[in-house]
Amino acid sequence: MLFPHGLHVDRDGNIWVTDAQGPDPSNPATAGKGHVVYKLSPEGEVLLTLGQPGLAGDGSGALLETPCDVVTDADGNIYVGDGHSGQQDNANPDTVARIVKFDRFGNLIKYWGGWGSAAGQLKTPHALDIDSRNRLIVGDRGNNRLQIFDLDGNYMGEFKTFSRPSGIYITDDDMIYVADSESEFDETRNPGWHAGIRVGSLLDGIVDYFIDGTVAAYPDGSNPEGVAVDAAGNVFGAVVSGGGALVKSSRR
């Protein structure tokens, strides 16, 4: 893989990984790699590949283009946040920014979204998860919002209270943990907000807690991009900049 980016463990313990880059023409070693989602057994055997390695899609079929994240539902259907570049300054309506739904065997069912800021449109669907009511929650990072869809792609609403979502994690009681790694990164990325992890309920979209993203040991770039929570309520933030780190916040 070129850039293992999104990670999901399904009900059977299989591991899903998105490869969110494509080949670099100047580097022959990258040929035939990227733009795919892999399903791996717990032992690391490739069980299924979505997309075609090394071949970017155009947002109109089953081929993928820098897929950001992946999640599966109770029936085994697969949802992919497709398109990592929608938040860039040079993005345009042709930029891939969509949700792609496959059946459990990898057959394309449908896709929705498209680049933009209107309800249901996307600018980098960077993170995905499914709540207890079978709603797909999408971290629409380029639009600084969470969007909510049913599993058929119908738009149900949005929250802008959780800042600029890079990673999301939803517990069984629909508490959502949202990692914001980019606010304050520069003048264009969500000015006025502070990076970190926001915690609240999907019932009302109100943020109840905030975990500051600043880590003194990593001053060159220390904001969490991924987030997960264990059974004891400990929160883990995955820092990708400044050399990378895993930061644990203990529940009090």
Which backbone phi and psi does 52 adopt, to 5 degrees? -125, 120
Task: Give the Cα separation of 31 and 226 in Å (integer).
Answer: 28
Same domain? For 152 and 44 the reply is yes
Same domain? For 41 and 150 the reply is yes
**Dihedral angle of Cα 160, 163, 167, 169, to the nearest 10 degrees:** -60
Task: Give the Cα separation of 101 and 72 in Å (integer).
Answer: 9
Q: Is 229 helix (H, G, I), strand (E, B) or coil?
A: strand
**Confidence grade of residue 222 (pLDDT, cut at 50, 70, 90):** low
Residue range 122-139: mean pLDDT, rounded: 99
| CB within 8 Å of 44: residues ≥ 6 apart | none
Last residue of a domain, one of 160, 187, 218: 160
Same domain? For 66 and 95 the reply is yes
Same domain? For 144 and 49 the reply is yes
The one-character DSSP state at 52 is B
Q: Over pLDDT 90: what percentage of the chain?
A: 84
Same domain? For 80 and 177 the reply is no
Please give the structure tokens belonging to residue 168. 């999301």
Same domain? For 64 and 89 the reply is yes
Q: What is the pLDDT of residue 241?
A: 73
Prediction pTM value: 0.96
- Residue 157: beta bridge partners? 148
Last residue of a domain, one of 104, 129, 160: 160
Last residue of a domain, one of 160, 186, 212: 160
Same domain? For 83 and 208 the reply is no
Q: Over pLDDT 70: what percentage of the chain?
A: 96
Query: Domain range holding 32?
Result: 1-160
Same domain? For 100 and 64 the reply is yes
Same domain? For 76 and 187 the reply is no
Same domain? For 102 and 191 the reply is no
pLDDT digits (tens, 9 = 90+) for 47-84: 999 999 999 999 999 999 999 999 999 999 999 999 99
CB-based burial label for 235 (10 Å; 0-12, 13-18, 19+): buried
Q: Is 45 helix (H, G, I), strand (E, B) or coil?
A: coil
Look at the alpha carbons of 142, 143, 144, 146 in this order and tell me if their dihedral is positive or negative.
negative
Same domain? For 156 and 173 the reply is no
Q: What is the pLDDT of residue 66?
A: 98
Q: Is residue 193 over pLDDT 80?
A: yes
Same domain? For 14 and 105 the reply is yes
Per the CB < 8 A criterion, the answer to whether 212 and 218 are in contact is no
Mean pLDDT over the full length of the chain:
94
How many structural domains are present in the chain? 2
Q: The domain that contains 127 carries what CATH number?
A: 2.120.10.30
**Confidence grade of residue 219 (pLDDT, cut at 50, 70, 90):** low
| CB within 8 Å of 14: residues ≥ 6 apart | 39, 40, 41, 42, 47
Residue 10 CA, distance from chain mean position:
15
Report the range of poorest mean pLDDT among 129-138, 217-226, 228-237.
217-226
